[in-house]
Amino acid sequence: MDRAVSKTPVPSKRTPKTDPGRPVARLVTPVLFRFGALVVVMALVAIAGMVLSFRAVSYLSDEVQPAADANAAVLQDLTEMNAAVSTWALSGRSSAVDDYGQAERRLPADQQKVRQFAADDAELDLLVARLEERTQAWVDSYAEPRIVAKGGPGTFNPQRFRVGQDLYSKLEAAHQETQSAFDARVRDGRSEATLLFRGTIVAVALLALAAWYLVGRFRNRLLNEISEPLRSLESAVQKMTRTDLDARAEARGPKEVRSVATALNDYADAQGRARAVEGRIQNELRVLDTAKDDFVSNVSHELRTPLTTISGYLEMVAEEFDGQLQPRHERMLEATRRNVTRLKALIDDLLALSKAESRATDLEAADVTTLVRDGVTDVRITGARRGIRIEVTAPAEPMTVLCDRAMLQRALINVLSNAVKFSHDNGQVDVTVQKLEPHQVEIAVQDHGIGIPRIELDRLGTRFFRASNAVTNEIAGTGLGLRIVQTIIDKHAGDVMIESTEGKGTTVFIRLRLHGYGGLRVAEDPAGD
């Protein structure tokens, strides 16, 4: 009997997920929200404090102080009335009656102001009512009857005077209590306004300190969570720029920084793979260059031997049948000689270019002026056959460069030969050697020959390229001479520049660094690592 076998599934192992980090917005937003809330609260507290302080000051200046001043005016009115009554009683002058009347007319208005303010204050209202009651008692019982009665000497009644003074003393006592109450309220109002103002300042200061504390904590948090990872990222980038192939950025901090670190590491890995591929390609190219050089060298040597043999046989035929060949055969023999010579020149240039590209540079100090004069001497005979003069302008002081003498001499001869070759008969070639700043020497070779078409200047130096007007004028050449010059000068970390105008001539500038002014950067030998 078959039994069903149940298989318990084995849970698969999951790769733990790495913390992706929080975005910068999630780090900054809460702090900014709290900071904004503190700023809002600070503003509200400041506004509320200012409003309450303004209300307290307004209440003090618009209500309490005017009422207190009115209460003082009541005492002033009563004092003037009492003085007028005394003056009337002693002198009987009618002006005293007028003074009494004026003070009496002002009194109700001042009392009304005091009464209106005291209406909302039970304690003060009671004091004001007592003051008015005693004022009315003094006026009714003494002041009014006495001002109406006859005044002057002989009208003084001591008993009536004592009654009036007693009533007035009670009035003054009541007013003193009322004035003390007003003074207390003025002090309370000032204290309240001062307290509100100071409280507002303290509250705003405390909130500002809280905001400062929050900013400080946020700064430290940013330094820990953003600045430090960014510094680590910067350090990794600097190591990578110093060609530290193993340098990698640590993925920590906010999400954006981690993303940059991850992308940078991916880029570094891709660069590493690219460098490996580049190294492999360079090795393959180096092998191909070596094979190419060997091929060119072998082919050139293999071709040179039979060409030498052919050239020898052509000379033997020309000597043996001298004067016996028909003109047609003479032309055929001359064309053969010319093509053999051209082929030999091409082979020589190919060998020279191959050596220039692959040969290790053997440097020694040499005077550029001497090299130029030696090259001019070698080319001057060729130029003299066509009546071409070569003028050299060079300073008396030596212009020493660090160079491979043989290679640099070959480059100079190539430039001089081209100048002679492309000059018109009976023309002139100007050679100038001069010192340039900073610490360079310039060799300028100028001819006044056929020049080069402007549209073809960019192609100069390309292998086997020859200017169209040179081909049209049937001027011999392989198209490798300038390429050889550029290769040699590049090996000496120099520059080759050409200026030319068709029909007017060409100027070739060669610039080299003088020996003794900083290190010479020599081009890397392509055959080596």
What's the pLDDT at 89? 82
Q: Report CA-CA distances (Å) from 172 to 166, 176, 188, 460.
A: 10, 6, 24, 123
Q: What are the residue ranges spanned by the domains of the chain?
A: 24-223, 361-529
Cα–Cα distance, 40 to 45 (Å, whole number): 9
- The three-state DSSP-derived secondary structure of 169-212 is HHHHHHHHHHHHHHHHHHHHHHHHHHHHHHHHHHHHHHHHHHHH
The CATH-assigned architecture of domain 24-223 is Up-down Bundle (1.20)
Cβ atoms of residues 42 and 208 within 8 Å: yes
The winner for highest mean pLDDT among 262-266, 326-330, 443-447 is 443-447
Checking if the pLDDT of 150 tops 80, the result is yes
Show the tokens assigned to 49: 């404090």
What's the pLDDT at 30? 74
Which among 158, 164, 166 has a CA at the least distance from the CA of 140? 164
What's the pLDDT at 8? 43
Helices (H), 403-480: 405-421, 468-472
> Within 10 A of 480 (CB to CB), how many other CB atoms are there?
23
Cα–Cα distance, 417 to 410 (Å, whole number): 10
Please name the fold of domain 361-529.
Heat Shock Protein 90 (3.30.565)
Show the tokens assigned to 462: 């390309």
- pLDDT class for 16, splitting at 50, 70, 90? very low
Cα–Cα distance, 67 to 115 (Å, whole number): 9
Cα–Cα distance, 356 to 525 (Å, whole number): 10
- pLDDT class for 22, splitting at 50, 70, 90? low
Checking if the pLDDT of 288 tops 80, the result is no
Model pTM score: 0.45
Please name the residue that has the structure tokens 């047609």: 328
The winner for highest mean pLDDT among 132-136, 287-291, 513-517 is 132-136
Checking if the pLDDT of 17 tops 60, the result is no
What's the pLDDT at 432? 93
Q: Report CA-CA distances (Å) from 324 to 86, 255, 314.
A: 177, 97, 15
pLDDT tens track for 167-180:
889 888 988 988 88
pLDDT tens track for 227-271:
777 777 777 788 777 777 777 777 776 777 778 878 878 887 887
